[in-house]
Structure 1
């Protein structure tokens, strides 16, 4: 099972919205076997997920996390879909 974690500064609003969008996109793509969660950037550790999603403005702060998806437009589902497909190889 692939673990995907959305991270933001506080771990509340925007990361939760990205989690919901990621679940929606995965369902649209017919991809199962992924667990999507969210967290604050400060609490996220490299072992908590296989793929991390964050906003462009947090890219430098998230450099300790592996396999990053950096979103230019945090709530753009089309961008998220393209980048998830690239990371998941589908």
Structure 2
């Protein structure tokens, strides 16, 4: 499974999200490739799941990805809940 975390510039929020997702996957013994990227590069990525903040919803909704939007990139509980729920579709 390929998961891409996205933010506007690719080195702030997306890295925070990536670290959270890596921790959540490890905790739940789930194997996946997680990559952080910027909004402009996401169109060229292959991803089973994209995770970003709700601020980028309008930019990401029209793309052909399964997207999870979180309100706060440091709310690990929210990220975990939404990530695990979205991953149920891939089992």
The aligned counterpart of 1:15 is: 14
How many positions carry a matched residue from both structures?
A: 88
Per-residue deviation, 1:47: 4.6
**Which has the larger helix fraction?**
2
TM-score, normalised on structure 2? 0.89
CA gap of 1:50–1:28, structure 2 versus 1, over 3 A, is: same
The aligned counterpart of 2:41 is: 43
CA distance in 2, matches of 1:13, 1:83: 20
CA distance in 2, matches of 1:62, 1:75: 20
Per-residue deviation, 1:14: 1.0
CA distance in 2, matches of 1:41, 1:75: 19
SS at 1:83 equivalent: helix
The answer to whether the Cα contact below 8 Å between 1:7 and 1:52 also exists between their aligned partners in 2 is yes
The aligned counterpart of 2:50 is: 52
SS at 1:12 equivalent: coil
Per-residue deviation, 1:36: 0.3
When the two chains are superposed, the root-mean-square deviation of aligned CA atoms in Å is 1.4
SS at 2:6 equivalent: strand
Per-residue deviation, 1:13: 1.2
SS at 2:16 equivalent: helix
